[in-house]
Chains A and B, each alone.
Chain A
Amino acid sequence: MKKLINDVDNVVREQLEGMALAHPDAIKVNYDPYFVVRADAPVEGKVAIISGGGSGHEPMHGGFVGMGMLDGACPGEVFTSPTPDQMYECAKAVDSGAGVLFLVKNYTGDVLNFETAAELAYADGIKVQSILVDDDAAVKDSLYTAGRRGVGATVIVEKIVGAAAEAGYNLGQCADLARKVNMYGRSIGIALTSCTVPAAGKPTFDLGDGEFEFGIGIHGEPGRQRLPMKSVDEITAMMAAAVLDDEAYSRTVREWDNEEGTWFDKELTDEPFKSGDSVIAFVNSMGGTPVSELYAVYRKLAAECEARGVKIARNLIGPYITSLEMQGCSITLVKTDDEILKFWDAPVNTLGLRWGA
């Protein structure tokens, strides 16, 4: 393993310290427990948006803390979900009284820890709601797996819901919008190489020179299929098909009822993309793939969308939700409507995403 680290046990802490030193005007970092909040938190009268997850996906989530996006982010150890005390303390730090929305990627660890945190926050009198992001089309069924993982759509949900909160949406409206954007979004990821978790010291999986992994998540876990390496056009066509031709997806999610103080099950079904849809197209690097290659992916993706009558209304291209130094990329498409486009275009001022501000 060759990495720019000191002691593997201090990786997350030292990286947070660097971030705090670099951007004291934008963010504040708390170390016991770890969380990042915007420098002006809590913002009076505004619903606070919190997300979190394992470290190693930078700039997500800490890099998305700021005006028009997240109020707080809770980083866990590398690829390990944060613990409930982090989300709970972070919620106390950013809540202005308007309530807190948790945006949770559907990974078992994240889900269980955020569930515990929601119960703690509720017990403390904080209004809380929690919405799952589960957009990974690589996962076909929800019955025999933990359901679709939360991947690329997380960035889009955080941007859009962050803007809505800034515009004065209340907690219930923010939760409804988050659920809608998630249901409009689908992703697929591939890896050309594995990545090395510092504490593990060796690559999570072995991938030969002539192979790539199709349908990966974002935690260096192997995907569903290992295939012989192909050209960017062939790989992108496969990825585009996995997203654009994906059928309706149904699952049961657990949401928090803030009135009753209990969890309840909600049945949700996403509709497939169809001709005439307008989408935000997000081509993301897993960390090790250069932006130039992402444009080669986008070139083919645009053609695949056009062939199906799907119009790309906006795009986002770059490394935004990464897996350490992994080479690979993901494609996320999110169907848009006027509400979604308005909040996508709204100003955002974070370390990782910035426009109009």
Chain B
Amino acid sequence: MITKDQIVRWLEKTAAVLQANKTYLTDLDSAIGDADHGTNMDRGFKKVMEKLPTVFDNDIGNILKTTGMTLISSVGGASGPLYGTFFMRSGMAIAAKEELSDEDLFTLLQAGVEGILQRGRPNLEDKTMYDAWAPALEAMQGALSTGMGTVEVLETAVAAAEQGMKNTIPLQARKGRASYLGERSIGHQDPGATSSYLMLNALLETVKE
């Protein structure tokens, strides 16, 4: 079971983790992109932190939708609409809930990833954030069917996301700015897959607390 309070702390932890990894993400992005991923994500989640107190009394769906709208209007780049859509869709999927079962949590993440798919139209192994999310969702669904507890389910998902993130290193990018580098994009970890992993890991750490 995940409470509303935990969802709020997840967002706070995500903001803190993205701030701590701002330079790391930007460095990854300067290798194959345009050196702004860390700065953009940090700016976006700082705005989310400003907005959070105003929606704290709302349900989880509303909190996530507000997070999405805030990211859409503050991040820019490709990650703004992608992460923005992720949170908007995840909020809509569990509308009006004050707490979430493990299945709800899966529904939330799955709807968010569907949003990323519709907006960005990535395929697996295009070297994008989807390469972290797709294996994470698959692993999570498998773990749920075996009856594991929330922490174990998320641990399984995070491990798969981490592996998916690392698997982007040898891939040649086929989406986004990195795709223009052709073979030169090989050998670098995708910044979007990395921030997605960090976000999911922040959820696990929140639930573990």
| Neighbouring B residues of A109 by C-beta, 8 Å | 76-81
Please give, as numbers and ranges, the residues of chain A lying within 8 Å of B79 by CB-CB distance.
109
By secondary structure, the A interface counts as loop
**Chain A nearest CB, measured from B23 CB (Å):** 9
Q: List residues of chain B with CB within 8 A of the CB of A200.
A: 26, 30, 35-36, 39
Q: Please state if A145 and B179 are interface contacts (CB–CB under 8 Å).
A: yes
Residues A84 and B72 in contact, CB atoms below 8 Å apart: yes
**Is A303 in the interface zone, CB < 8 Å from B?**
no
Interface pair B184/A83, CB less than 8 Å apart: no
Minimum CB–CB distance from A225 to chain B (whole Å) comes to 9
1/0 per residue, CB under 8 A from A, across B25-52: the answer is: 0100010011110011001000000000
How far in angstroms is the closest Cβ of chain B from A53?
Answer: 10
Partner of B76, one of A82, A145, A197, A221: A82
User: Chain B interface: which of A90-98, A112-120, A172-180, A325-333?
Assistant: A112-120
Given known pairs A76-B76, A79-B36, A197-B36, the reply for A219 and B177 (CB within 8 Å) is: yes
Please, what's the 1-or-0 string for A190-226, where 1 marks a CB less than 8 Å from any CB in chain B? 0000000101100011000000000001011110100
- Within the complex, which residue of B34, B35, B80, B181 is in contact with A113, where a contact is CB–CB below 8 Å? B80
CB-based contact B36/A80 at 8 Å: yes
- Which of B73, B180, B182 contacts A221 (CB under 8 A)? B180
State whether the Cβ of B82 lies closer than 8 Å to any Cβ in chain A. yes
Contact B177 A107 (CB under 8 A): yes
Give the A interface residue count (CB, 8 A). 36
Q: Does A272 contact B (CB under 8 A)?
A: no
Q: Interface code A100-128, partner B: CB below 8 Å = 1, 0 otherwise? A: 00000001110011011000000000000
Q: Any chain A CB within 8 A of the CB of B18? A: no
* A113-B180 CB under 8 A given contacts A80-B40, A199-B36: no
Interface of B is mostly: helix
B140 at the interface (CB under 8 A from A): no
B170: Cβ under 8 A from any A Cβ: no
A220–B30 Cα distance when bound, in Å, is 9
Is there an interface contact between A108 and B78, defined as CB atoms closer than 8 Å?
yes
Residue of A109, A221, A224 with most chain B CB atoms under a 10 A cut-off: A109
Task: Check B180–A138 contact: CB distance below 8 A.
Answer: yes
CA distance A113 to B119 in the complex (A): 10
Contact: B80 with A83, CB < 8 Å? yes
**Known A112-B119, A221-B181; further 12 A-B contacts with Cβ < 8 A:** A76-B77, A77-B39, A80-B77, A81-B80, A83-B73, A145-B179, A145-B182, A197-B35, A199-B39, A220-B35, A221-B180, A224-B180
Footprint of B on A, CB under 8 Å?
33, 54, 76-85, 107-109, 112-113, 115-116, 138-139, 144-146, 149, 197, 199-200, 204-205, 217, 219-222, 224
